[in-house]
Amino acid sequence: MNSRTFMMQGNIAVAEGAIDAGCKFYAGYPITPSSEIAEHLSKKLPQVGGRFIQMEDEIGAMGAVLGASLGGAKSITATSGPGFSLKQENIGYASLAEIPVVIVNVMRGGPSTGLPTLPSQGDVMQARWGTHGDHPIIVLAPASVKESYDMTVDAFNMSEKYRVPVILLLDEIIGHVHEKVSLPNPEDLVIINRKKPSTDPDHYLPYKIDDTLVPEMANFGEGYRYHVTGLVHDETGFPTNKTEEIDKMLGRLNSKLLKYQDEIIHYEETMTEDAEIGIISYGSSSRSAKTALKMARDAGIKVGMIRLQTIWPFPVKRLNEFGKQVSKLIVPELNLGQIAHEVEHAVQSFDKVVKVNKINGEPIHPNEIFEKLKGE
């Protein structure tokens, strides 16, 4: 496999990954620290026959990418902080109507306008539960420029395959860091497209339940007419108040990611085989954690790390196993313990989980993690 080598910023890697994944539409509104994604796509999309549009706000931007996706265009939007909050209602609409779309959130400090130019990992729970109701969602968290590219491609593939919105959750550090990367040639990528109808328009049921739990999807403008709504609906797409139909629809909706969780959930393990102390990390904090792990190993402390690449669905089973192996789990993150809460649940223990948190806009230093590994 041939590759292309660049010095590249994380946000630009996202934009390039979107293009190579087959993205043809972007709608958004400029917001620090994600604006480079929009700027780059405003130049690149027209070159590949795509469309870029700056909307009047984040609500309109989210609606525009959903409409474009229904028309058959792989679509992406990017935002941060307050903009992500504004997108939540339409993310819920995408979840219920099962519209493939990729949403990038380059996290910054909050709440409200918060810290526009400084990093945070404070949107982890919002990414999972920001929209109301029980709903499926996939959330990926890159820790490098290369992963920002790779996970953007993955996000499009997962969104198309499972008919769900996928959130790419960078933080400001990953979005703005520059690194040398080797990217695959686009023709060498594995690209997944939505499953098209196997029946003619007269017999098409847009939300028909089968063993895959993922309905076939017709694009508007291809001769198939069907109803799209944010109301709970039956297999025809029209709203229903029949309790048995509601159970079937919502049951399938919330079961499909569970069915495919082994394909969706990814994590990286470092020196976990003989570990007596564990680290659970993600995003930019994992870079400091990896250095702290090396410091601990040099000091004779048997430390291993699991770095979350998929945050949601959460890898409960693997963390439960790891929790039984080690005496404690250090969880560094740029918030007040959002993933730590999930780790406590996974390992079924409050005593084993040690938090390392920062919310002042500074990254976590490796020494801060190392001190916890030493038990200080």
Predicted local confidence at residue 200, as pLDDT: 95
- Supply the mean pLDDT for the chain: 97
Q: What is the rounded CA–CA span in Å between residue 363 and residue 19?
A: 31
Q: Which long-range contacts (CB under 8 A, 24 or more apart) does 354-361 make?
A: 354/328, 354/329, 354/330, 355/331, 356/330, 356/331, 356/332, 357/332, 357/333, 358/334, 359/109, 359/120, 359/122, 359/334, 359/335, 361/109, 361/115, 361/118, 361/119, 361/120
Where in the chain are the domains? 3-188, 201-262, 267-373
Q: What is the rounded CA–CA span in Å between residue 74 and residue 337?
A: 34
Annotate 259-301 with DSSP letters as a single string: HTHHHH--EEEES-TT-SEEEEE-TTHHHHHHHHHHHHHHTT-
Predicted local confidence at residue 220, as pLDDT: 95
Confidence of residue 3 (pLDDT cuts 50, 70, 90): confident
pLDDT tens figures, 166-195: 999 999 999 999 999 999 999 999 999 999
Q: Inform me whether the pLDDT recorded for 376 exceeds 70.
A: no
pLDDT tens figures, 95-135: 999 999 999 999 999 999 999 999 999 999 999 999 999 99
DSSP tag of 337: S
Predicted local confidence at residue 304, as pLDDT: 98
Task: Write down the architecture of domain 267-373 according to CATH.
Answer: 3-Layer(aba) Sandwich (3.40)
Q: What is the CATH number of domain 3-188?
A: 3.40.50.970
Predicted local confidence at residue 186, as pLDDT: 94
At residue 244, what are phi and psi to the nearest 5 degrees?
A: -70, -35
Confidence of residue 79 (pLDDT cuts 50, 70, 90): very high
Pairing relationship of beta strands 310-312 and 138-140 according to DSSP bridges: antiparallel
**Pair 166, 104: CB distance under 8 Å:** no
Q: Inform me whether the pLDDT recorded for 1 exceeds 90.
A: no
